[in-house]
Amino acid sequence: MVTIAPEQHLQILHLEDSLADQDLVQRILHKAYPLSNVIPVDSLELFEELIAKKRFDIILADYRLNGFTALDAWQCVARSRHPLPFILVSGAIGEAAAVDAMRLGISDYLLKDDITRLPHVVARAMEVHQAKQEKEAAVAELAESQKRLVELTAHLQSSIENERASIAREIHDDIGGALTAVRFDVSWISRHAPDIEIQRHANAAVEMLQHAIGASQRIMMDLRPPVLEQGLVAAIRWLVSSFERRTGVPVRLSVSSEDMSVPQDIQVVAYRTTQEALTNITKYANATQVAIDLSDQENVLTLEIADNGCGIPSEDRNKPKAFGLKGLQERARIAGGWLDIGSQVGKGTCITLTVPLISSRPTDRDEVIDD
């Protein structure tokens, strides 16, 4: 609660055209706050000049003045970024008019017949004003914090994708190349070894090396999908083909165009969304059918992935550590879009990614698929 100490230097602007009322207000306020400075003014022009040049803590105003009303003065105050507390001190205003004035943003009103309560009304108005300022500051700080969090998340996503690309290149260039070379050498040994037992071990080693090469290629594709260089549709088709081979679950894929013009950063978002959705279907859905619809109509990329599986219970979707779906939603938000998840237990799940294309701008995430 705001407490106004008697020694506090309050700067008070008093809009009043009655000299007697000006004197009465000054005496009452000086009695409660001896060091307060009450500046009387009786014209709208001088009022506007003073609030533009000086700093005040609070404004008091009669309702009806010579040629204007307190509402005209309030309009001048309300245009500022942080309007001052504004109190009507009048004997010529009804309760309905006072309530209407407060709806416009005026802090409070006091009848002149009850003028002795003015120090209390001033303290209360300043308390409300300070609470409002603190709330606005907290909201602004929260908004700034959220902005920084979004920027950090975008940077982390970009860093993760770039690191994935770097690891994938190393797997391809170093590990993949070394495994392939070893496989050729072991194959040569298998073909030329005079001992049957050596040939048997060499053939087993060749099989294991081939398995390792295949695993490294799958890991490389998961880390950095080079198929995206052929376009988003080709990349989605590759994911669908891999999913069908692994699970035996048929996928109906529908695309609006084989040659979609989609920024590379959004291609990565759509690819990762499809990848995560199909992974979740494999692990949890127990589905027998999957449908994927991909469209770039009306400058909006829409990706819908639906299955007829067991659905996601609401408590699972809201679990604090359900990072997979939350990560997809954050990816969509960073790209300027949104992700909707609809699910009914026993009836399947539908994930819909929507990203406007017309406002999309390339970011450093584009480096993900650049060599």
pLDDT tens for 91-124 read 867 777 888 888 888 989 888 888 999 999 998 9
Instruction: Indicate whether 360 pLDDT > 50.
Output: no
Q: Lowest mean pLDDT: which of 85-89, 246-250, 271-275, 311-315?
A: 311-315
d(CA 133, CA 82): 8
DSSP state of 84: P
Looking at per-residue confidence, does 294 or 4 come out higher? 294
pLDDT of 277: 94
Structural domains of the chain, count: 2
Do residue 132 and residue 233 come from a single domain? no
- 151 located within any domain: no
Note down the domain range covering 25. Answer: 11-138
- 263 located within any domain: yes
**Of the ranges 87-96, 169-178, 286-295, the best mean pLDDT one:** 286-295
pLDDT of 6: 59
- 147 located within any domain: no
**Of the ranges 110-119, 175-184, 245-254, 330-339, the best mean pLDDT one:** 245-254
pLDDT tier, 183 (very low <50, low <70, confident <90, very high otherwise) = confident
Mean pLDDT, rounded, for 185-200: 89
Residue at a domain's end among 138, 172, 206? 138
d(CA 14, CA 62): 8
pLDDT tier, 339 (very low <50, low <70, confident <90, very high otherwise) = very high
Mean pLDDT, rounded, for 41-57: 91
- 187 located within any domain: no
Strand partners, 47: none
Helix (H) or strand (E) holding 132: helix 118-170
pLDDT of 175: 84
d(CA 173, CA 220): 11
> What is the chain's mean pLDDT, rounded?
85
The per-residue b/e assignment along 234-247, b for 16 or more CB within 10 angstroms, e otherwise, is ebbbbbbeebeeeb
Instruction: Indicate whether 168 pLDDT > 90.
Output: no
pLDDT of 321: 57
Count other Cβ atoms within 10 Å, centred on residue 204: 12
Do residue 231 and residue 133 come from a single domain? no
Token duo for residue 52: 């533009």
Contact 216/175 with Cβ under 8 angstroms? Answer: yes
Looking at per-residue confidence, does 322 or 332 come out higher? 332
The CA-atom distances, in angstroms, between 40 and each of 60, 117, 121 are: 9, 19, 18
Output helix, strand, coil percentages for the chain, rounded to the nearest 5.
60, 15, 25
Residue at a domain's end among 138, 170, 190? 138
- 217 located within any domain: no
Q: At what angle do helices 44-53 and 70-78 cross, to 10 degrees?
A: 30
Instruction: Indicate whether 215 pLDDT > 80.
Output: yes
Instruction: Indicate whether 364 pLDDT > 60.
Output: no
- 271 located within any domain: yes
Contact 268/228 with Cβ under 8 angstroms? Answer: yes
- 169 located within any domain: no
Do residue 231 and residue 371 come from a single domain? yes
Instruction: Indicate whether 214 pLDDT > 60.
Output: yes
Q: At what angle do helices 177-192 and 196-223 cross, to 10 degrees?
A: 160
Looking at per-residue confidence, does 1 or 263 come out higher? 263
In sequence order, which residues have a C-beta less than 8 Å from that of residue 145 and are 6 or more positions away?
A: none
Contact 55/123 with Cβ under 8 angstroms? Answer: no
Looking at per-residue confidence, does 166 or 135 come out higher? 135
pLDDT of 4: 59
Token duo for residue 195: 């001992």
% of the chain surpassing 70 pLDDT: 90
CATH value at residue 254? 3.30.565.10
DSSP string, 232-292: HHHHHHHHHHHHHHHH---EEEEES-SS----HHHHHHHHHHHHHHHHHIIIII--S-EEE
pLDDT of 290: 97
Size of the chain in residues:
371
The residue to which tokens 């990072």 are assigned: 323
- 193 located within any domain: no
pLDDT of 85: 92
Do residue 115 and residue 237 come from a single domain? no
pLDDT tens for 21-41 read 999 999 999 898 888 899 999
Do residue 134 and residue 33 come from a single domain? yes
Instruction: Indicate whether 370 pLDDT > 60.
Output: no
Instruction: Indicate whether 198 pLDDT > 70.
Output: yes
Residue at a domain's end among 111, 138, 165? 138
CATH value at residue 53? 3.40.50.2300
Contact 259/213 with Cβ under 8 angstroms? Answer: no
Instruction: Indicate whether 133 pLDDT > 90.
Output: no
pLDDT tier, 362 (very low <50, low <70, confident <90, very high otherwise) = very low
The CA-atom distances, in angstroms, between 85 and each of 45, 207, 348 are: 20, 82, 56
Do residue 28 and residue 132 come from a single domain? yes
